[in-house]
Amino acid sequence: MRLATLTAALLLVASLSAMVLGQGPGPTTQAGQGAQGAGQGITPPPTGAQQGARGQAAQGGGRGGGRGAAAAGPALPTPRWPDGKPRLGALPGEKGLWNGGGSTADNTTPYQPWARAVSDDRRANAMEPHTRCKPSGGPRQFATPYGVEILDMRELQRIYILDVGGPHTFRVIYMDKKEHPKDLEPTYYGHSIGRWEGDTLVVDTIGFNERMWIDRGQAPHTEKLHLIEKFTRTDMNSMTYELTVEDPGAYTATWSRTSQMSFRANTELFEFICQDNNFAPELLVGTREFVDRSSVIVP
Amino acid sequence: MKSVRLLLCLLAVIAATVSVVAQEGYPLTGTWSGDWGVSAKEADRNHTTLVLGWDGKTISGIVDPGPDTAKIRVATLDTTKWTVRMEYDLKDKSGKLVPFIVEGKLQNPASRKNRTIVGTFTHGSAKGDFKITMD
C-alpha cells in the first residue's frame, strides 16, 4: 500500500514536470514582445471587441498593453456606489479594463549601491521573470499586456485585481482586515489590505518573495518590501496611481512615484494562457543557454 | 527497500524542482554550491555549499550545513566591480580551525543564468581555486 502511494506521488510529480515539456511554441506573433526581446505571443481573440483592444495592446510593444482608449469628448464623472464611494471597475452590465500605472524607479530613486547595480545589469542583460510566465506583484501587475480588471466584491469585502496577460492570475485586497498576518510566507503578490481615505483606495502590501520583479527591472527588491498604493479614480476613464516603496534591504529611504491609468471601456478579460503563447520556450523552461529536453526535470 | 528507493527518488525530484526557484533580489541571497581545491585532481577537490542572506546592511550565512558547518565571519560585495570577499573558519587536515578566505568575482549578478562566484581561496598555507554557482 505504501509502495503504491509512493509510486502514485512520484508519477504525479513527474507528470507535473513533464507537462511543461509537452508544449511546443504555438502559432504566435511577436507583437507582445517586451523591450528586452522576450515576452508572450498572441493568439487570436475570441471576439471582435477583444481583437480591437488587443491590437492596441500589441502596438504598446508589450510595455503595458495599450495606452488607454478614452472616449472622445469630456469623460463621464467617477462612477460611485450608493454610499458615495468610487467604483473602481466597470458599471453593472458594462465592461472595461485598466491600463498603465507601472511607473517606478528612475535616477532620483535612493538605491543602495547593490540595487542600482542590479537595476543597471538587469536592463542590460537579464530577462524579466514575467517573460517566463511568472506572476509579478505590485505595479508590474498593471503593466501586464491587455490590462487588468478591478472587481470590488463588496459583499465579500475583497477587491480582486485580475490580469489578462501574464500568468493568468489575480491578487486579493482584503478590505475587512486591519493588520497583516504575522509570519507571512513570502509570495509573488504579497498580502494586501485596503482601506478608503475619502475617494482614494489605499492598499498596504507586505510579504513579497524575491522571485519576481515589481516592474520591468528598474526597482530590485528584497523580502523587506512594503508597498503602499493609492488608487484615485478621478473620472470615468482616469485613475491616479500613487506608489510608495519602502524596502530597507534595497533602498536608503522611502520613495514614491505617481502615474496614470486609463480605463478602456467595452473590453473584458479573455483567456490568455502565457505558457501556450510564449514564443520563447527556452526562456520558459530554463536557466540555461539551451533547452535540454532529454530530462523530465524542467528547470 | 524498494519503498525507500522510491521515496529517495521522489525527494530528489522535489529537490530538483525547488532548487530552480530563482532569486531576483540581493544577488548573493540564496543557496550556492560548488567546489574548491589546490589542484584540479579529483582527490584535491572539496564540495561546498553556502547559504547566504542579506538583512539590508550585512551579508551573513553558513557554510557546509551539517556537522562541520561554519558561520560566515565577514562577507562583502563590491557592486562596482562585482567582487566578493568572504571569510570563515574551516578545519585543516589536522582538524584545527583555520581562516578560509575567498576572493572572487560574481558573474551574471542579475541573471538566473549561471550566477556564479569564481575566484581563489586561501586556507592557511594552502591556496587554490574556488567556484560556486547559485542553485
- Which three-class secondary structure string do you get for B48-94? EEEEEEECCCCEEEEECCCCCCEECCEEEEECCCCEEEEEEEEECCC
Residue B101 or A9, more confident = B101
Q: What confidence category does residue A241 fall into, taking pLDDT thresholds of 50, 70 and 90?
A: very high
What is the β-pairing status of strands B83-91 and B97-107?
A: antiparallel
Q: Is the pLDDT of residue B91 over 80?
A: yes
Measured torsion, CA atoms of residues B98, B70, A223, A122, in degrees rounded to the nearest 10? 50
User: B6 burial class (0-12, 13-18, 19+ CB within 10 angstroms)?
Assistant: middle
State which H helix or E strand residue A260 sits in: strand A255-265
Distance CA A25, CA B119 (A): 39
What average pLDDT does range B90-100 have in this prediction? 94
Q: Which residue do the cell numbers 482614494 mark?
A: A200
Q: Is the pLDDT of residue A2 over 90?
A: no
To probe the interface with B, which of A1, A5, A121, A284 has the most B CB atoms within 10 Å? A121
Q: Is the pLDDT of residue A46 over 50?
A: no
Domain B24-134: which topology?
Lipocalin (2.40.128)
Distance CA A132, CA A179 (A): 33
Domain boundaries, chain B: 24-134
Instruction: List all residues 6 or more positions away from B89 whose beta carbon is below 8 Å from its beta carbon.
Output: B70, B73, B97, B98, B99, B100
Q: What confidence category does residue B93 fall into, taking pLDDT thresholds of 50, 70 and 90?
A: confident
pLDDT at residue B2 in the model:
59
Which residues of B fall within a CB distance of 8 Å from A3? 2-3, 6
- Closest CA–CA distance from residue A191 to any residue of chain B (Å): 18
Q: Is the pLDDT of residue A224 over 80?
A: yes
Q: What confidence category does residue A20 fall into, taking pLDDT thresholds of 50, 70 and 90?
A: very low
Mean pLDDT is lowest, of A9-13, A66-70, A151-155, A199-203, for A66-70
Which residues of B fall within a CB distance of 8 Å from A9? 10
Mean pLDDT is lowest, of A142-146, A237-241, B126-130, for A142-146
**% residues pLDDT > 90 (chain A):** 52
pLDDT at residue B107 in the model:
93
- Closest CA–CA distance from residue B21 to any residue of chain A (Å): 7
Residue B50 or A136, more confident = B50
Residue A78 or A287, more confident = A78
CB contact under 8 A, B114 and A220: no
What average pLDDT does range A235-239 have in this prediction? 97
- Which chain B residues touch A if contact means CB-CB below 8 Å? 2-3, 6-7, 9-10, 13-14, 16-17, 20-27, 29, 54-56, 77, 79-80, 82, 108-114
> What is the interface size between A and B, counted as CB pairs within 8 Å?
95
Which of A61, A67, A65, A57 is closest to A33 using CA atoms?
Answer: A61
Which residues of A fall within a CB distance of 8 Å from B105? none
Domain boundaries, chain A: 55-273
Q: Is the pLDDT of residue A151 over 70?
A: yes
Under a CB-based contact definition with an 8 Å cutoff, are residues A34 and A128 in contact? yes
Average pLDDT, chain A: 77
